[in-house]
RNA sequence: GGGCGCUUAGCUCAGUUGGCUAGAGCACCAGCUCGACACGCUGGGGGUCAUAGGUUCAAGUCCUAUAGCGCCCACCA
């Protein structure tokens, strides 16, 4: 078999491709979708030429296919190899991915690609989340907007069908986005939180918890969304200040002439009052405690109670009406005092039959009516306008009503403690560490977790209700260990939990079963993600240890616990904590060893990006404009320890391409139309528009933050291009580092240092440093200095061979180092290098891996780091920069003569590097040594190790030169003054470490010498 | 109200355990098409490190307070 040429084609001229022989071992791999890596050997070295600019799109297309075909991303358990596993935080299928996802997934891919190169058996598990309420709300909104229908018009089955269609569309889009970003996920394993494998895990977990008494049903106060008619979680609400009022009323106190005054923002809740509370120590109300008040509108008698927790005597009147069914604090108070709880609302927000004459009215209408009626009774003491911070539903944007309803809960006390212990004893470590506090604080509250949602989209609660004698259950489910039952709180109804769905007639026609209509909180299935995606629990029942015969269990045992979870801080409580809980509960082990929390991306105004605000960017826009490598580099560059990062966004004018910065008023879909300041044509700003606009073209978005990555990819490309143009005659061969010339030892020293640093930075999740280190080494050291120095050597037959080997070897290392961050650019160059220099590497060349994806991660001997050599090159760089500065100042186009007065050792060094100095600084004659004299008209540069004179015969501007020297002199004197003052301080000499004091002494001596030298030069200049 | 961060050049950010004259990219100014790269090269200008105290021989770095910004949690009869 042979690989067709086009699969490794590089869009280079055909003729330069001379693949000699290509062979693929016969594949007997049984697993579908997996292909054994292919091997081929490569042709003879020759110089080849790349296009002038890196074309990211071509690279993306080519290498995505190439990687897929080779199955590099697929992982299977291999007992001899250490696994490295990450499960993706599954994106919601509510919509497309945004920048936060781009960041999150880039960082995961960097880790996965790096560890893969290190030889780990890496698995990155991809997938998406059904995102219960969020997805249903999106689809319901569309239904309302486009068809004017509610979910009830459609019915449960039809709505769920519609949501599945939505899911299919967005899941595909999300997976495409991930793929185009270069994420090296094991795509064959892609999961969805509602697919059968995950559903099985949910069912088994629920069953276990119910059986263990950890799941219960009870009446609790929840956040009720009256539009979606469901409970929503605390984290699904937001607070918004609205105009409201503070109403003051009086209730008569029974058997007295007294009244008790109180204030409320929600007068209609008087219908549900079951007490009035005062502070037990409040002298104003001592005599009323224990008496009875009357609610006139419904003629209910309610007690006046003392409650120190509910009442703050310094606020308002000091007396509080208590509505346990419609206020969280009152609810707690109601529990403490065993008050009745009267629910006055229907699910749609109208008053129910408990509201007597007000039944059927909307709650806001009732509010007015109640107030009027109280006024008629003379019990209304006025209202005061006030801004009220009101809870709203995230999904429907309507005000939340606290509402008493039946819900399912998980008891958290023991589960939470186990999860806390795992972090306290270090089985799970947070990076940065401080986030452990968020986790521990939240779990420490041990609040029971409400897991039921009155929705249609999600995992149905596996509970069936029946009214019957228990004997019926025992008979019907005899011998079955997959069905358990318990009586509800009122002891009237059986709650039956089953691993498999029960038919309605399971108990016979006399006792029909009815399944709970609710679904589970979406986080219930997300909480199982690390083990459910790996196949837990397999076909076995929870009590049976599955054993070696179960392949799913074997697989889970291999990859679980996973290595690291990469996520953002806002779901530490919602998700991270719950994964630890269920992991410990189901598997008995933590789900991951590390949790890395990355920063958030903000817009230009410091606000988080969100779809609602419309300040987000589609990663595909960035990929289209700058390339996937640039997107990834930008993301890695941004990922610092502490700091959220601002990302100013621009709209790209669809007519003329001008970048128009996004302003505040463009957000929240407020501005439908923007006029381009350059071409004056209108367009619609890019963003979260729900539909197309046929008349107005929509702008793509851009951000200059990605230019750095695009430029870097191009720089790397061109460095490679230069090399490939100069590889004629390249012959691989071993190098003895200690025998190499100084410039080679320098770049190898720098390379060894950079490589070690990057490895360490990756280990510590210091992503931003990784980007910086690889960028600086590649650009400022390799390209700016080493490549420039190599130009002379490549022309010199004596030096050419070694220079080629070192250049190729260093570039090879750079490609490996950069690959986790910029895989497409790295692969493009890697493949080109494979054509021209298949055997390469330092110090001993080896045949190259067929892809940089599987090339070994580099590591170099610590002995290569040579600080003395680095110092010598740094001195040369100082000399070169000094000469360049003079040339630039005098605008010199021709070469200059340079005279350097220095010690013999330094002079030897400069002589050895003379070729580079003349090349890099444009020097004609270079003289150095202790006896070198300053030429009459020259510019001076004073350095601790030398004095350099640039001859300016006939060109010198004496005044300007003197002025410059004086400025320098002033700076040095000021610095000297500071340094001397420090040294003269006896406390400093005594208390500071000896080496610091010595450093200071050396500095003073240096400065004094330099000042003397500058003074001397100034004198000479003036005399001349 | 509680907690966690942040405030360094016009902009976006680095700055390890306190220790030589605080760095980068972009933007700005000047010059460069010289055979890798104008998505480039060379040189340059630009900062009272939010403010006020304190600790220390020494503070951008540690402590306290203040102001502003962001996020999380709780709460507002």
Question: For A895-926, what is each residue's pLDDT tens digit?
Answer: 899 999 999 999 999 998 999 999 899 898 99
How far does Cα A573 stand from its chain's mean position?
16
Compute the distance between CA of residue A952 and CA of residue A429 in angstroms, rounded to an integer: 64
End-to-end CA distance of chain A: 81
Q: Which nucleotide is nearest to A573 (CA to C1')?
A: B72
Asked whether A614 and A688 are in contact (CB, 8 A), the reply is: yes
The percent of residues above 70 in pLDDT, for chain A, comes to 92
Q: Is the peptide bond before A536 cis (omega within 30 degrees of 0)?
A: no
- Helix, strand, coil percentages (3-state) for chain A, rounded to 5, are 45, 20, 35
Q: From A145, A364, A421, A92, select the one nearest A245 (Cα to Cα).
A: A364
- Whether A549 has a pLDDT exceeding 60, the answer reads no
A645 contact to strand B (CB, 7 A limit): yes
pLDDT tens-place string over residues A689-712: 667 778 888 888 888 889 999 999
A635 contact to strand B (CB, 7 A limit): no
Asked whether A1 and A23 are in contact (CB, 8 A), the reply is: yes
* Coil, strand or helix at A343: coil
Please name the residue whose C-alpha is nearest to the C1' of nucleotide B6.
A643
- Bridge pairing between strands A923-929 and A896-902: parallel
- Tokens representing A130? 């059904």
A327 contact to strand B (CB, 7 A limit): yes
How far does Cα A665 stand from its chain's mean position?
27
Residues 952-971 in A having a C-beta less than 7 A from any atom of strand B are 971
A320 contact to strand B (CB, 7 A limit): yes
Residue A856 DSSP class: P
Please name the residue whose C-alpha is nearest to the C1' of nucleotide B40.
A715
Q: Which nucleotide is nearest to A974 (CA to C1')?
A: B21
- Whether A601 has a pLDDT exceeding 80, the answer reads yes
Query: What does the buried/exposed string (b/e) look like for A81-100 if buried means 16 or more CB atoms within 10 Å of the residue's CB?
Result: eebbbbbbbbbbbbbbbbbb
A241 contact to strand B (CB, 7 A limit): no
Residues 29-58 in A having a C-beta less than 7 A from any atom of strand B are 52-54
- pLDDT of res. A461: 93
The torsion angle over the Cα atoms of residues A979, A982, A983 and A984, rounded to 10 degrees, is: 120
Compute the distance between CA of residue A1017 and CA of residue A1024 in angstroms, rounded to an integer: 11
Compute the distance between CA of residue A498 and CA of residue A515 in angstroms, rounded to an integer: 11
A784 contact to strand B (CB, 7 A limit): yes
| pTM of this structure | 0.86
Compute the distance between CA of residue A996 and CA of residue A480 in angstroms, rounded to an integer: 79
A817/B31 CA-to-C1' distance in Å = 35
A602/B50 CA-to-C1' distance in Å = 21
Please name the residue whose C-alpha is nearest to the C1' of nucleotide B21.
A975
Residues 208-227 in A having a C-beta less than 7 A from any atom of strand B are none
Under the phi-then-psi rule, with left for phi > 0, alpha for psi from -120 to 50, and beta for the rest, what region is A531?
alpha
A507 contact to strand B (CB, 7 A limit): no
pLDDT: which is higher, A826 or A983? A826
- Spatial neighbors of A86 by CB under 8 A, at least 6 apart, are A108, A111, A112, A123, A124, A125, A562, A563, A564, A565, A566
pLDDT tens-place string over residues A245-302: 888 888 988 888 888 888 888 888 888 888 898 888 888 888 888 888 888 888 888 8
Compute the distance between CA of residue A356 and CA of residue A354 in angstroms, rounded to an integer: 5
Give the least confident one: A570-579, A712-721, A827-836.
Answer: A570-579
Residues 150-209 in A having a C-beta less than 7 A from any atom of strand B are none
Q: Which nucleotide is nearest to A318 (CA to C1')?
A: B77
A883/B13 CA-to-C1' distance in Å = 32
- pLDDT of res. A9: 31
A1007/B20 CA-to-C1' distance in Å = 11
- pLDDT of res. A13: 30
Compute the distance between CA of residue A123 and CA of residue A139 in angstroms, rounded to an integer: 33
A389 contact to strand B (CB, 7 A limit): yes
Query: What does the buried/exposed string (b/e) look like for A372-381 if buried means 16 or more CB atoms within 10 Å of the residue's CB?
Result: ebbeeeebbb
Instruction: Place A46 in a pLDDT band, splitting at 50, 70 and 90.
Output: very low
Most confidently modeled range among A14-23, A551-560, A1003-1012: A1003-1012
Compute the distance between CA of residue A59 and CA of residue A825 in angstroms, rounded to an integer: 7
Contacts of A472-476 with CB under 8 Å at 24 or more apart are A472/A507, A472/A508, A472/A511, A473/A507, A476/A506, A476/A507, A476/A508
The percent of residues above 90 in pLDDT, for chain A, comes to 36
A383 contact to strand B (CB, 7 A limit): no
pLDDT tens-place string over residues A344-386: 888 888 888 888 888 888 888 988 888 888 889 888 888 887 7
- pLDDT of res. A644: 81
A569/B71 CA-to-C1' distance in Å = 9
- pLDDT of res. A1021: 80
pLDDT tens-place string over residues A624-666: 999 999 999 999 998 887 778 888 888 888 888 888 888 777 7
A261 contact to strand B (CB, 7 A limit): no
Q: Which nucleotide is nearest to A574 (CA to C1')?
A: B72
A629/B55 CA-to-C1' distance in Å = 48
A894 contact to strand B (CB, 7 A limit): no
Q: Is the peptide bond before A432 cis (omega within 30 degrees of 0)?
A: yes
- pLDDT of res. A810: 96
A554 contact to strand B (CB, 7 A limit): no
Four-residue CA torsion sign, A304, A309, A314, A320 = negative
A778/B23 CA-to-C1' distance in Å = 18
pLDDT tens-place string over residues A129-171: 988 888 888 888 888 888 888 888 888 898 889 899 888 988 9
Asked whether A526 and A575 are in contact (CB, 8 A), the reply is: yes
Please name the residue whose C-alpha is nearest to the C1' of nucleotide B11.
A648
Q: Is the peptide bond before A561 cis (omega within 30 degrees of 0)?
A: yes
- pLDDT of res. A81: 92
Q: Is A597 exposed, middle or buried (0-12, 13-18, 19+ CB in 10 A)?
A: buried
* Coil, strand or helix at A175: helix
Residue A888 DSSP class: H
Four-residue CA torsion sign, A537, A538, A541, A544 = negative
A776/B68 CA-to-C1' distance in Å = 35
- Spatial neighbors of A412 by CB under 8 A, at least 6 apart, are A443, A446, A447, A448, A449
A282 contact to strand B (CB, 7 A limit): no
Compute the distance between CA of residue A155 and CA of residue A454 in angstroms, rounded to an integer: 14
- Whether A28 has a pLDDT exceeding 50, the answer reads no
Q: From A694, A653, A695, A688, select the one nearest A667 (Cα to Cα).
A: A688
> Which nucleotides along chain B are within 7 A of a protein C-beta?
3-7, 11-15, 19-21, 25-26, 30-31, 36-44, 56-58, 69-77
Q: How many CB atoms lie within 10 A of CB A202?
A: 21
- pLDDT of res. A48: 59
Q: Taking all residues of chain A, what is their mean pLDDT, rounded to a whole number? A: 85
pLDDT tens-place string over residues A927-945: 999 999 988 888 888 888 8
- Tokens representing A745? 């030892």
The torsion angle over the Cα atoms of residues A673, A674, A675 and A681, rounded to 10 degrees, is: -60
Compute the distance between CA of residue A488 and CA of residue A464 in angstroms, rounded to an integer: 12
Work out the average pLDDT over A601-615. Answer: 77
A262 contact to strand B (CB, 7 A limit): yes
Q: Which nucleotide is nearest to A646 (CA to C1')?
A: B12
Q: Which nucleotide is nearest to A321 (CA to C1')?
A: B77
Q: Which nucleotide is nearest to A788 (CA to C1')?
A: B36
Compute the distance between CA of residue A35 and CA of residue A266 in angstroms, rounded to an integer: 66
Cα A916-A919-A925 angle, rounded to 5 deg? 95
């Amino acid at each position: 078999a042979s690989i067709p040429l086009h699969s490794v084609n590089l869009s280079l001229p055909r003729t330069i491709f001379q693949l000699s022989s290509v062979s693929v071992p016969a594949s007997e791999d049984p697993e579908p979708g997996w292909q054994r890596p292919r091997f081929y050997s490569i042709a003879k070295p020759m110089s080849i030429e790349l296009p002038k600019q890196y074309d990211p799109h071509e690279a993306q297309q080519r290498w995505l296919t190439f990687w897929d075909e080779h199955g590099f991303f697929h992982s299977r358990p291999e007992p001899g190899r250490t696994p490295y596993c990450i499960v993706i935080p599954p994106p919601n299928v509510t919509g497309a991915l945004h920048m936060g996802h781009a960041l999150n997934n880039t960082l995961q891919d960097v880790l996965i690609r790096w560890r893969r190169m290190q030889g780990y058996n890496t698995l990155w598990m991809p997938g998406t989340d059904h995102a219960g309420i969020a997805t249903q709300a999106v689809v319901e909104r569309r239904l309302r907007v486009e068809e004017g229908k509610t979910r009830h018009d459609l019915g449960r089955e039809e709505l769920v069908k519609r949501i599945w269609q939505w899911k299919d569309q967005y899941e595909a889009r999300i997976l495409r986005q991930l793929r185009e970003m270069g994420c090296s996920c094991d795509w064959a394993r892609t999961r969805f939180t509602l697919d059968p494998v995950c559903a099985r895990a949910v069912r088994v977990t629920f069953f276990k918890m119910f059986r263990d008494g950890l799941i219960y049903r009870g009446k609790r106060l929840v956040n009720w969304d009256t539009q979606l008619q469901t409970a929503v979680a605390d984290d699904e609400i937001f607070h918004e200040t609205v105009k409201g009022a503070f109403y003051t009323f009086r209730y008569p106190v029974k058997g007295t002439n007294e009244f008790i005054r109180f204030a409320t923002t929600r007068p209609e809740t008087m219908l549900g009052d079951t007490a009035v509370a005062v502070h037990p120590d409040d002298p104003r109300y001592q005599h009323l405690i224990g008496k009875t008040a009357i609610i006139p509108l419904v003629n209910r008698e309610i007690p006046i109670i003392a409650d120190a927790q509910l009442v703050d005597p310094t606020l308002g009147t000091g007396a509080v009406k208590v509505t346990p069914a419609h206020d969280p604090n009152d609810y707690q108070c109601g529990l403490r005092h065993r008050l009745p709880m009267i629910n006055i609302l229907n699910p749609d927000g109208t008053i129910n039959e408990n509201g007597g004459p007000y039944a059927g009215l909307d709650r806001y209408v009732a509010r007015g009516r109640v107030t009027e009626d109280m006024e008629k009774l003379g019990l209304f003491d006025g209202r005061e306008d006030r801004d009220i911070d009101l809870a709203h539903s995230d999904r429907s944007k309507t005000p939340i009503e606290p509402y008493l309803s039946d819900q399912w809960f998980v008891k958290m006390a023991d589960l939470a403690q186990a999860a806390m212990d795992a972090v306290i004893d270090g089985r799970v470590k947070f990076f940065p560490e401080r986030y452990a506090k968020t986790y521990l604080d939240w779990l420490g509250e041990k609040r029971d977790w409400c897991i039921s949602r009155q929705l249609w989209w999600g995992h149905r609660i596996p509970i069936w209700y029946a009214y019957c004698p228990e004997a019926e259950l025992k008979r019907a489910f005899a011998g079955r260990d997959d069905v358990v039952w318990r009586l509800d709180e009122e002891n009237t109804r059986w709650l039956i939990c089953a691993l498999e769905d029960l038919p309605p007639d399971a108990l016979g026609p006399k006792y029909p079963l009815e399944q709970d209509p609710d679904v589970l909180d979406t986080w219930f299935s997300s909480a199982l993600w690390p083990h459910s995606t790996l196949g837990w629990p397999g076909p076995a029942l929870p009590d049976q240890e599955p054993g070696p015969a179960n392949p799913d269990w074997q697989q889970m045992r291999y990859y679980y616990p996973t290595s690291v979870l990469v996520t953002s801080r806002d779901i530490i409580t919602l998700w991270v904590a719950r994964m630890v809980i269920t992991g410990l509960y189901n598997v008995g082990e933590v789900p991951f060893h590390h949790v890395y929390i990355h920063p958030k991306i903000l817009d230009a105004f410091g606000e988080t990006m969100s779809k609602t605000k419309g300040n987000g960017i589609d990663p595909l826009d960035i990929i289209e404009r700058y390339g996937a490598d640039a997107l990834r580099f930008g993301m890695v560059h941004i990922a610092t320890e502490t700091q959220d990062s601002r990302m100013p966004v621009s709209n790209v004018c669809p007519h003329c391409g001008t970048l128009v910065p996004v302003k505040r008023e463009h957000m929240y879909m407020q501005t439908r139309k923007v006029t381009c300041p350059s071409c004056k044509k209108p367009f619609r700003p890019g963003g979260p528009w729900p539909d197309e606009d046929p008349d107005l073209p929509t702008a793509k978005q851009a951000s200059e933050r990605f230019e750095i990555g695009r430029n870097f990819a191009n720089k790397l490309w061109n460095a490679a291009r230069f090399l490939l143009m100069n590889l004629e005659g390249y012959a691989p061969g071993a190098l003895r580092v200690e025998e190499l010339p100084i410039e080679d030892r320098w770049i190898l020293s720098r390379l060894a240092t950079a490589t070690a640093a990057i490895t360490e930075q990756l280990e510590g999740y210091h992503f931003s440093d990784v980007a910086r280190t690889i960028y600086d080494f590649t650009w400022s050291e390799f390209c700016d200095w080493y490549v420039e120095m190599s130009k002379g050597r490549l022309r010199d037959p004596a030096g050419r061979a070694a220079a080629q080997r070192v250049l190729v070897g260093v570039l090879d290392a750079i490609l490996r180092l950069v690959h986790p961050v910029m895989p497409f650019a790295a692969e493009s160059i890697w493949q080109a290098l494979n054509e021209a220099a298949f055997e390469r590497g330092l110090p001993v060349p080896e045949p190259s891996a067929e892809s940089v994806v599987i090339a070994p991660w580099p590591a170099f001997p610590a002995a290569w780091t040579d600080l003395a050599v680095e110092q010598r090159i740094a001195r040369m760089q100082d000399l070169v920069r000094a000469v360049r500065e003079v040339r630039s100042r005098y605008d010199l186009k021709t070469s200059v003569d340079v005279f350097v007065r220095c010690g013999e050792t330094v002079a030897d060094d400069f002589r050895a590097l003379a070729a580079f100095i003349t090349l890099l600084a444009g020097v004609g004659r270079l003289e150095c040594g202790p006896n070198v004299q300053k030429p009459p008209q020259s510019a001076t540069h004073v350095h601790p190790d030398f004095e350099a004179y640039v001859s300016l015969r006939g060109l010198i501007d004496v005044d300007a030169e003197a002025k410059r020297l004086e400025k320098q002199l002033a700076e040095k004197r000021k610095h000297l003054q500071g340094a001397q003052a420090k040294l003269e301080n006896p406390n400093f000499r005594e208390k500071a470490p000896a080496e610091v004091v010595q450093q200071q002494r050396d500095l003073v001596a240096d400065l004094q010498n330099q000042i003397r030298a500058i003074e001397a030069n100034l004198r000479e200049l003036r005399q001349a």
